[in-house]
Structure 1
Amino acid sequence: MPVQYENQHVTVFQSELYQTTSTVAVTKDIILITDPTWLPGEIEAIRQHVDKHDNGQRKYLLFTHSDFDHILGWKAFPDAVTIASRGFTAKSGREDILQDIHDFDESYYIQRPYPVEYPSIDIIIDHDEQTMEIGNTSVSFYLAPGHQADGVFAVLPGPGILIAGDYASDVEFPFIHHDSRAYERTLNKLEEVMDENTINLFVPGHGTCTADGAEIRKRIRDSRWYIQTLRDEIRHQQSSEVLGAFVDSYSFSRYLGEEHENNKAQIEKERRA
């Protein structure tokens, strides 16, 4: 599996599919694995990397949210302690999520060497700044609804790593599958965490990680502008040429155009509620 970024603290893998990232952070105390995905060979490469750096640390597996591409690697790490939000554990429609995995695998003749199941969670994140301290390693978690209702992002303040889930990507504008106002609050929360911590690496769920603070803040501003401009467009029932050009500026615009239409429907639903 291609490695997008690596230093002494963290390795960011990137799948060929949807430029999806899977992050492995290693300290003397823990190995934190986040969203291992997509293909069996890619997940096996992540597993081998974890084994290579396993010096007896406790292994943890974080799910940033319940989209099927972020959970399908669960059973490849059976000895890891799992972490996710309370919303993740209470998720309805689990059978639909698992069916998405089965449909994907059947479409591409994929056979996984482990069972496909919805993850059971050992450590439940209930509130912002919920912190796990193992030896000299600290990891803080923040609830991140908006893309989905059950999102979480994580900060390792020692090495300054922020694992953001499906927010502030350079290859996707916001995909609002839950609620646009909640999405904006999560963007605000990301900025607050940036203000309160030294972030040396920002890892989105899709696209390119970055160590450039100005780039991170630009992605957050662009996401906020997109949501606010789309909301204005829906409110005034008129298309914005500027917004259309913004959507078209992304690569893979045919697929992203479908997500843009889904966002329109979501904000219209919110307006009528």
Structure 2
Amino acid sequence: MQENRKGLPNIYYTTIVTKTERVIGMSVQYEDYQITVFQSALHQTTSTVAVTEDIILIVDPTWLPEEIEAIQRHVKESDNGQRQYLLFTHSDFDHILGWNAFPEAVTIASRGFVARSGKDATVQEIHDFDDHYYIQRPYIIDYPEIDIIIDYDEQTIESGNTSIMFYLAPGHQPDGVFAVINQTNTLIAGDYLSDVEFPFIHHNSEAYERTIDKLEKVLSEQKIELLIPGHGNSTNEFKEMQDRIGDSRWYIQVLRDEVRREETFDVLQAFVDSFLFSRYLGEEHENNKRQMQAEEKG
């Protein structure tokens, strides 16, 4: 496989033929002998499968039925009797809609994920999406039941020689989690540190900054060799990881200054406009402004 200029493999499509001879195309953004990062056609959403001799960890399997089926096939082909885990980094509907496709997996999420109010509304978002696009899924849609609840930073799951360390990550949503797979030096960041999105602050900007601080601390103290965001491209360049932290922190700080001064900063608008898909991201930027204004009012 050829590598791009950042040292990561170029995105390719794997073709899978099912028993009914239906051809399925699924984008694989990154792959090595233990980590496979699938990328959906929608919102460049990533779904990660990490395979060791002890476990198979599946993260946020999504979006379309054919894409989830490709992830299922990969898990099946990788299965040598390891215990399967299914991690939800947060409760946005696009990150939970595939959970019943992996009934054998032990589910993992934060305490906030379990205690979240409005679960029915989240499930309804999945039904609305499927209805809008005439999508039929071969499994039941409902809110995930969680077997292992993450309550504190550095909570760890160990299986044989494999360990996964979890950190609470509120800010984007109140119930976020990011994880480090120690054997592969992989940081699964959830909806943080994307190269195709600036911060989407759906919960609280100060909490978001604290999560950024945690991510920076993990990068400085642990040998992270691969960063996987929830949307966009993975990276194995340490400077790129640092740059994404710096950009996220800068965006929140400048947006807060803009809201407090009740001014429009050209430099901030230029930063937002520098991203692709500017119409949708422009809407998220306005949502961030309203969130920040509500926080300032107390």
Compute the TM-score of the two structures, normalised by the length of structure 2: 0.91
Which of 269, 273, 281 is residue 244 of structure 1 equivalent to? 269
Match for residue 16 of structure 2? Answer: none
C-alpha distance in structure 1 between counterparts of 2:242 and 2:204, whole Å: 21
C-alpha distance in structure 2 between counterparts of 1:186 and 1:9, whole Å: 27
Check if 1:128 corresponds to 2:167. Answer: no
Which amino acid in 2 is paired with 1:262? N
C-alpha distance in structure 2 between counterparts of 1:157 and 1:134, whole Å: 12
Q: How does 1:129-208 map to 2 (within 5 A)?
A: 129-208=154-233
Check if 1:14 corresponds to 2:39. Answer: yes
Residue 196 of structure 1 deviates from its aligned partner by 1.2
Q: How does 1:211-230 map to 2 (within 5 A)?
A: 211-230=236-255
Secondary structure at the aligned position of 1:19 is classed as: coil
C-alpha distance in structure 1 between counterparts of 2:240 and 2:70, whole Å: 29
Match for residue 91 of structure 1? Answer: 116
Which amino acid in 1 is paired with 2:162? T
Residue 48 of structure 1 deviates from its aligned partner by 0.3
Match for residue 74 of structure 1? Answer: 99
Secondary structure at the aligned position of 1:115 is classed as: coil
Match for residue 297 of structure 2? Answer: 272
Which amino acid in 1 is paired with 2:234? C
Q: How does 1:31-110 map to 2 (within 5 A)?
A: 31-110=56-135
C-alpha distance in structure 2 between counterparts of 1:155 and 1:131, whole Å: 9
Residue 180 of structure 1 deviates from its aligned partner by 0.1
The alignment-based identity, stated in percent, is 69
Residue 96 of structure 1 deviates from its aligned partner by 1.0
Check if 1:30 corresponds to 2:63. Answer: no
Match for residue 3 of structure 1? Answer: 28
Residue 158 of structure 1 deviates from its aligned partner by 1.4
C-alpha distance in structure 2 between counterparts of 1:241 and 1:96, whole Å: 37
Paired residues, number: 273
Residue 95 of structure 1 deviates from its aligned partner by 1.1
Give the gaps of 5 or more residues in structure 2: 1-25
Secondary structure at the aligned position of 2:116 is classed as: coil
C-alpha distance in structure 2 between counterparts of 1:162 and 1:50, whole Å: 20
Secondary structure at the aligned position of 1:267 is classed as: helix
Which amino acid in 2 is paired with 1:178? H
Which amino acid in 1 is paired with 2:257? D
Residue 252 of structure 1 deviates from its aligned partner by 0.1
C-alpha distance in structure 2 between counterparts of 1:154 and 1:216, whole Å: 15
Give the gaps of 5 or more residues in structure 1: none
Which amino acid in 2 is paired with 1:104? F
C-alpha distance in structure 2 between counterparts of 1:209 and 1:229, whole Å: 26
Residue 157 of structure 1 deviates from its aligned partner by 1.4
Which of 144, 147, 166 is residue 119 of structure 1 equivalent to? 144
C-alpha distance in structure 1 between counterparts of 2:62 and 2:91, whole Å: 13
Secondary structure at the aligned position of 2:142 is classed as: coil
